[in-house]
Amino acid sequence: MSAANYELTAEVLTEAIPFMRRFAGKVVVVKYGGNALAGTEGEEEEALRSFAEDVVLMRSVGMLPVVVHGGGPQIGELMQRLGMTPRFVDGLRVTDAETLEVVRMVLVGKVNREVVGAINRHGPLAVGLSGEDAGFITAEARDEALGFVGDVVGVDPTIVRRLLSEGLVPVIATIGADVAGQAYNINADTVAGAIAAALWAQKLVLLTDVSGVRRDRDDPGSVASELSVAEIDELIADGTISEGMIPKVEACAHAVRAGVSSAHILDGRVAHALLVELFTEEGLGTMVVDR
Amino acid sequence: MSAANYELTAEVLTEAIPFMRRFAGKVVVVKYGGNALAGTEGEEEEALRSFAEDVVLMRSVGMLPVVVHGGGPQIGELMQRLGMTPRFVDGLRVTDAETLEVVRMVLVGKVNREVVGAINRHGPLAVGLSGEDAGFITAEARDEALGFVGDVVGVDPTIVRRLLSEGLVPVIATIGADVAGQAYNINADTVAGAIAAALWAQKLVLLTDVSGVRRDRDDPGSVASELSVAEIDELIADGTISEGMIPKVEACAHAVRAGVSSAHILDGRVAHALLVELFTEEGLGTMVVDR
Amino acid sequence: MSAANYELTAEVLTEAIPFMRRFAGKVVVVKYGGNALAGTEGEEEEALRSFAEDVVLMRSVGMLPVVVHGGGPQIGELMQRLGMTPRFVDGLRVTDAETLEVVRMVLVGKVNREVVGAINRHGPLAVGLSGEDAGFITAEARDEALGFVGDVVGVDPTIVRRLLSEGLVPVIATIGADVAGQAYNINADTVAGAIAAALWAQKLVLLTDVSGVRRDRDDPGSVASELSVAEIDELIADGTISEGMIPKVEACAHAVRAGVSSAHILDGRVAHALLVELFTEEGLGTMVVDR
Amino acid sequence: MSAANYELTAEVLTEAIPFMRRFAGKVVVVKYGGNALAGTEGEEEEALRSFAEDVVLMRSVGMLPVVVHGGGPQIGELMQRLGMTPRFVDGLRVTDAETLEVVRMVLVGKVNREVVGAINRHGPLAVGLSGEDAGFITAEARDEALGFVGDVVGVDPTIVRRLLSEGLVPVIATIGADVAGQAYNINADTVAGAIAAALWAQKLVLLTDVSGVRRDRDDPGSVASELSVAEIDELIADGTISEGMIPKVEACAHAVRAGVSSAHILDGRVAHALLVELFTEEGLGTMVVDR
Amino acid sequence: MSAANYELTAEVLTEAIPFMRRFAGKVVVVKYGGNALAGTEGEEEEALRSFAEDVVLMRSVGMLPVVVHGGGPQIGELMQRLGMTPRFVDGLRVTDAETLEVVRMVLVGKVNREVVGAINRHGPLAVGLSGEDAGFITAEARDEALGFVGDVVGVDPTIVRRLLSEGLVPVIATIGADVAGQAYNINADTVAGAIAAALWAQKLVLLTDVSGVRRDRDDPGSVASELSVAEIDELIADGTISEGMIPKVEACAHAVRAGVSSAHILDGRVAHALLVELFTEEGLGTMVVDR
Amino acid sequence: MSAANYELTAEVLTEAIPFMRRFAGKVVVVKYGGNALAGTEGEEEEALRSFAEDVVLMRSVGMLPVVVHGGGPQIGELMQRLGMTPRFVDGLRVTDAETLEVVRMVLVGKVNREVVGAINRHGPLAVGLSGEDAGFITAEARDEALGFVGDVVGVDPTIVRRLLSEGLVPVIATIGADVAGQAYNINADTVAGAIAAALWAQKLVLLTDVSGVRRDRDDPGSVASELSVAEIDELIADGTISEGMIPKVEACAHAVRAGVSSAHILDGRVAHALLVELFTEEGLGTMVVDR
């Protein structure tokens, strides 16, 4: 080993271990998917492979990772193949019974399976779960006009805690059910935030396709390394944060307000971003804290 | 209460309780689906509702039900909607990568969800599972020409035992994976038999659409109330048992040879058939034992 | 199985199982004896046999039965054989030291042994206990003029809980002791009520030789299926409830006021009355509730 | 404290503590009764009081005493009051059904209660038990001509171990039952030996009214301080040991052959004989060992 | 055994056992050393041997002894051999860095080893400990002029409790450390009192070379058998208690004020003084109580 | 973070974590001292500081470090101050009673304290221990002519396991005792090997002042990265390994023959050598394996 490498190695190790110690036995909810998976099929596979490796390494040092995933692009693809036309009300997609069935088949029967499979290539660790299992996520209709688009009403984390205590990695598809057993499709960022809150997680990490939250919409160099929930409210109010970033920052704000120590928005396309975020002082992307 | 009813009630109770005691803490694997669900949509729903109630009542008296399901008709339906043409080799359906994806979406993302949902209307009991989760079912290709049609190579029942020990009801979609993570579609009767064997179950119950195994193919009155594994071999050899009934009786024979006390083939369309089979001396359908 | 029987069987099972579930792990205190045993010797034996079977079946489905018994007629019989003349003060029987010794010998050394023996014919389940064991029931003199007739001052249910937690059935003779170790004879209905209260039992069941509490003393058809503690007070006040029925309804009232869900007065001479009461909606006799 | 007393005190303590340590957690079966209780009523009460104190002190230093008692004189007394005439066959008393009922009432309902009461004056420690409880002692008829006189066929010490593990002191009346539930009267020395053997006790102590076993029948000074089982056989063969002493030495021999470290025959009329035997080098009476 | 000896033996046993019971599982902190060890080398060895035997016997009957020791004379001896001259400020010995190193070597590396060795001759029971181990005793400088003479700031008894719960006997050298890891020498009586307080001990026993605290400095016959903390304050105030006795009575007062039941000052040169103090009504020396 | 640093960080982390996982819960015995401490006083302190940090980091990731230390130079220094002249027999130092006392004072009372102190600056983790505590190391005289120089006869690792299971770090001074309680001084490398063997450690690491074992005595570049026990025997036989290196390689050979996976000889003067050895593929120094 070269002297330079020796020194760097010793440095990384002495810096990383205290983080490992601090996070051992702590729950970290990681939302993976959607745009983090954007790219060619080969890039997607490589991203999923690197992500699965990071999850397994987190588990190795005693952390308790919980994976939440969406699957927008894959849903659109199957609908197209089935000749279904998306309907919109005031710009929002309507989820009728037939659409819901497609959403559920894709999320639970396809994307969830792929994430479970990628992790289980390293050992029998991952177990797929949907919010319908064992009364995990209770949902209700957001707006009748939108059909089976749901809001989270309650999270009973018992089944997740059980799997965690068995050393397993829950991989969660974001379908919920109401008391009558009716299923709903729920935004994956929102679910990730609600689960992090219900589990009193140490961290919530949203892996996406941008390097963080910008303080100036048009300046890629303006990514904030840290934001308070108050700043988030302001940045939404003045329009700096908009569209798809809104549910992300709101999920972060919800989680940290509920006691999660910090929430992070990272670029999931960078290999091992999760690991470097967790185990270095410097970190990556934008961190949201409750100040 | 009328005197007649009083006496009957006392009789049923004094007869049923010793069975409940004997089966308490014992695993019963129930295969549900395919033809047991045949009929109009309303009939299907009613059958699923009554089945789910029986499963919940079994759980109530301390039994440990494990549900295994198939989903042939629903797979065919989605393939048709997607304009996919089934291919056959020597009369057997070929499962290529695209077909496998459809099979998985339907079994894991649709049928499994419906069974889980029907049970969970009674409380947060059921958890969906596929053979890919936590390394549960290892499969291999049966025949390269058939594509991703799998045979069971191994069953690691750890995750099922964990869920049972938490008081939950595992509902299993019959997808397996090989060590490289490749998924396979496997016959549901076969999987039910293998799981019953791996769990050292007390009973295996296959719910189907006939009242049992006939000793004379053409005589509905010839249903055997009990068959030994030796008799099964003979009835297959002389052609009395044929076609779809073969994997069923073979799953039964495999299970009882591996130590399962008895295996049963019942008409799942009769309301509460499962309950009456379990808790009366007389029972229903055909019982397979290892003699 | 005939279609009619099939349907009835399914009905009884689906109705009974939820009760079994609700009562599993719950304590049910059953007072047996005295008049429930009235009749010829053969009838007595048959009643005890059927009662013991019900207790064993209750245990089988996970309930925790506690049996309390009296033994008035048998005490009288031995006193007569010993040529002892009962003395009365204001119409109440006086229990002097010699009488107490006879009472204790009969209750602990004879009746208790018979009930333990009848249960243990089904397996080594029953353990006899008197209130003197391990400081179980503390008593004090009710009235010096009556000698060693006791009132319950305290119940330490530890030893009973220990036996229950070992899967055993405590069978309790109603002798108590004061702090100096002096024994007292206590009314069995009263003791049953006090034990039910101390154990936070689910139910108290008093098996007697009438079909319940009448709202009209002279009308056998006026048996109340449900009474509140307030109604009991009224019925005692206006003389409708009188004599031996008073300690029974007071024991019921005491128990339900202390948190026991319901108390029942049944005709113990009907075979399996206990079982039918516990596991059907309709029930038998009179139920006392705290409203 | 005088210097002499100081030295003696230090000596007794340093000698006794190692015994306490050695016996802590060890079972000691003590047979009490019959002739140990001989004397005036006041002497009897004082003997029982001192015996109970020793049992409580044994318990205090972590030993696990198990008390077994007989009750011959008290049985005779009640039979006489009831005008029953003892019958004999070849010089042995016949126990018919009526006699058995008297025996059981006296042992379980009177003597057992008195021993339990004497111990419980020090705290809620003692629990009465008969061989019928929880299938504890299985017996069979010794000889049909003798009626319900039983031999021990088996001892299931589970219930005794349970009570010991709860810190309680079992006090055992020597009634057994056969599989059909028929009760038998058994010799108390024999039962004590069988229980000591079944519990793998450290010691068996028989408290009686002689100072030990004599090597010369007629010489009170010939009491043996130690006897081997071989010597016992000889002394019985040559008539030195005779009559009531025979079941005692046989119970001792049975116990030590089954692995009990030593068995002791002491004069129970000497105050605190039990304590001095247990906690001094010198001991008292006759010790039987398996050599 | 002579009749007189028999009676005395029975008396000592019946008196001692209740104390053993009361103290079983209770912590007793014993400070040994300094002047208790005064005398010729042979006397010292004999005193240590008898002390070690008492500690082992205490452990035998379930008490939890904790030994604290000083070592003044041995420290002086090594300093002299090293040619070090003790320095004094206002009559108090100054502990500079070099002196501290000598103190630590002697206490931890010599005296502690000797006490551990004497106990372990009876079995592997004793474990040496210094206040620096596992953050046990936090100290701070008493007065800069005195150097590394410390006062107790805090006691974290976790490590001591752990050793006790493993059945071991902690033997403690009275060195403490501040948060920066700097070691300090602390008065052994003071440490013993602080440990007794932190452990909620039953008793604190200081073994010294006088027979107790005198009410009149010059009258050996004026030793008080009992003193309240108020009386102690008075006796210090009026000069009756002076010099080396002051930290002893103050340690006693501190301990009983913190909830220790009683503290004792005994002459440790009398063989088995510890045992006789603990297990007789009469006791020895001076007892301090919080009244 | 620079891209180069980012990549290196990710690399070190993904490489180190699998080692951490493999070693979690595993015991690693580290011998520290003697020549590893050579240098100026400042260098010594810095080396001890870095060593203590590594030990704490090992503990942080779930490893169970056990520290063994010697102290030759410090012993020599005190002997010199006391004017003691070392005696030699056949070139080996003689340890008479006076020398042993000095050895024990230095090892237990000085060096052990310094190592404990250095670790405890990070938290209350370290507990000092000598082989005399709780019967840990049994020794015997190697050769009467050498006095109290001991060989290891037995290691009872119970006390070490207890401390490890409490999350503590045992720091061991290499004094042993024979059954009569006589203490002996033992070679620290030998003790480290014996402890590693007795604990079935994962690794034994000897920190010294050379970079490993040379295959050519005179060529610093000939350090072997791996040696089998057979090669060690050869290198000793042909004189390549000599003097102080012999007990080191023999301790390594003893440990790996007893089942320790690997033993390592490293240069302890390099900062964080322990950490880099443990958590990189490449490692440092010489590894001894049982091939």
pLDDT digits (tens, 9 = 90+) for D147-189: 999 999 999 999 999 999 989 999 999 999 998 889 999 999 9
The span from the CA of E90 to the CA of E85, in Å, is: 16
Chain F CB contacts of E121 below 8 Å: 180-181
Comparing CB atoms, the residue among A105, A118, A177 nearest residue B110 is A105
pLDDT, averaged across chain D: 89
Residue A133 has pLDDT above 80, yes or no: yes
pLDDT band at C1, cuts 50/70/90?
A: low
The span from the CA of F68 to the CA of F173, in Å, is: 6
Instruction: Note whether F21 contacts A61, CB cutoff 8 Å.
Output: yes
D125-160: burial string, b at 16+ Cβ within 10 Å, e else: bbbbbbbbbbbbbbbebbeeebbbbbbbeebebebb
CB atoms within 10 A of CB B216: 11
Query: Can you give the pLDDT at residue B281?
Result: 83
Q: Which residues pair with B170 in a beta bridge?
A: B127
Instruction: Note whether C24 contacts B62, CB cutoff 8 Å.
Output: yes
Query: Can you give the pLDDT at residue A34?
Result: 61
Query: Can you give the pLDDT at residue E119?
Result: 93
Q: Which of A42-46, B94-98, C140-144, D93-97 has the lowest mean pLDDT?
A: A42-46
pLDDT tens figures, C178-213:
988 899 999 999 999 999 999 999 999 999 888 899
The span from the CA of F29 to the CA of F78, in Å, is: 28
Comparing CB atoms, the residue among C81, C109, C180 nearest residue D109 is C109
The span from the CA of E76 to the CA of E91, in Å, is: 16
DSSP, collapsed to helix, strand or coil, labels residue B100 as helix
Which residue in chain C has the smallest CA separation from D105?
C109
Q: What is the mean pLDDT of residues F110-114?
A: 93
Helix axes D229-237, D245-257, angle to 10 degrees: 150
pLDDT tens figures, F50-109:
899 999 999 988 899 999 998 878 888 899 999 998 887 876 778 999 999 999 999 999
CB atoms within 10 A of CB C251: 29
Q: Is D239 exposed, middle or buried (0-12, 13-18, 19+ CB in 10 A)?
A: exposed
Rg, C-alpha atoms of chain D: 19
Percentage of chain D modeled with pLDDT above 70: 96
Give me B108's structure tokens. 């894991």
Query: Can you give the pLDDT at residue C60?
Result: 87
The span from the CA of A58 to the CA of A64, in Å, is: 7
Q: Based on the residue annotation, tell me whether E34 is a catalytic residue of this protein.
A: yes
Name the active-site residue from D54, D131, D189, D212: D189
pLDDT tens figures, A211-263:
899 999 889 889 999 999 999 999 999 999 988 899 999 999 999 999 999 99
| Chain F nearest CA to A13, separation (Å) | 8
Give me B203's structure tokens. 């009973």
Question: Which 8-state DSSP code applies to residue B25?
Answer: T
Question: Which 8-state DSSP code applies to residue A70?
Answer: -
Instruction: Note whether E279 contacts D13, CB cutoff 8 Å.
Output: yes
Looking only at the bridges linking them, the beta strands covering E27-32 and E203-208 are parallel
Looking only at the bridges linking them, the beta strands covering F137-141 and F150-155 are antiparallel
Residues of A with CB under 8 A from a CB of F: 1, 5-6, 8-10, 12-14, 16-18, 20-21, 24, 53, 57, 60-62, 271-272, 275-276, 279-280, 282, 284
Query: Can you give the pLDDT at residue B88?
Result: 79
Query: Can you give the pLDDT at residue B126?
Result: 95
Query: Can you give the pLDDT at residue A128?
Result: 96
Chain C CB contacts of D127 below 8 Å: 129, 133-134, 159
Query: Can you give the pLDDT at residue A40?
Result: 63
CB atoms within 10 A of CB D104: 25
Q: What is the mean pLDDT of residues D205-229?
A: 91
Instruction: Note whether F104 contacts E109, CB cutoff 8 Å.
Output: yes
Q: What is the mean pLDDT of residues A108-127?
A: 92
Percentage of chain F modeled with pLDDT above 90: 60
Query: Can you give the pLDDT at residue B93?
Result: 77
Q: Based on the residue annotation, tell me whether D31 is a catalytic residue of this protein.
A: yes
Instruction: Note whether B107 contacts A109, CB cutoff 8 Å.
Output: yes
Tens-binned pLDDT, residue by residue, of chain B (291 aa): 677 778 888 888 888 888 888 888 999 999 997 655 555 667 778 888 889 999 999 998 889 999 999 887 888 889 999 999 888 787 677 899 999 999 999 999 999 999 999 999 888 899 999 999 998 999 999 988 899 999 999 999 999 999 999 899 999 999 999 988 899 999 999 999 999 999 999 999 999 888 899 999 889 889 999 999 999 999 999 999 988 899 999 999 999 999 999 999 998 888 888 998 899 887 789 999 988
| Chain D nearest CA to E216, separation (Å) | 22
Name residues of chain E where pLDDT drops below 50. none
Which residue in chain B has the smallest CA separation from C271?
B10
Separation in Å, CA F166 to CA A26, F125, F159, F169 = 21, 10, 11, 9
Q: Based on the residue annotation, tell me whether B189 is a catalytic residue of this protein.
A: yes
The span from the CA of D93 to the CA of A26, in Å, is: 76
pLDDT tens figures, C26-61:
999 999 976 555 556 677 788 888 899 999 999 988
Chain B CB contacts of A156 below 8 Å: 124
Task: Work out how many CB contacts closer than 8 A connect B with C.
Answer: 78
Residues of C with CB under 8 A from a CB of B: 1, 5-6, 8-10, 12-14, 16-18, 20-21, 24, 53, 57, 60-62, 271-272, 275-276, 279-280, 282, 284
Separation in Å, CA C225 to CA B3, C260, D220, E51, E77 = 17, 18, 75, 76, 94
Query: Can you give the pLDDT at residue B133?
Result: 94
Q: Based on the residue annotation, tell me whether E71 is a catalytic residue of this protein.
A: no
Query: Can you give the pLDDT at residue C40?
Result: 62
* Unique residue bearing structure tokens 């030291």: C97
CB-based contact B96:B145 (threshold 8 Å) = no
pLDDT tens figures, F140-164:
999 888 999 999 999 999 999 999 9
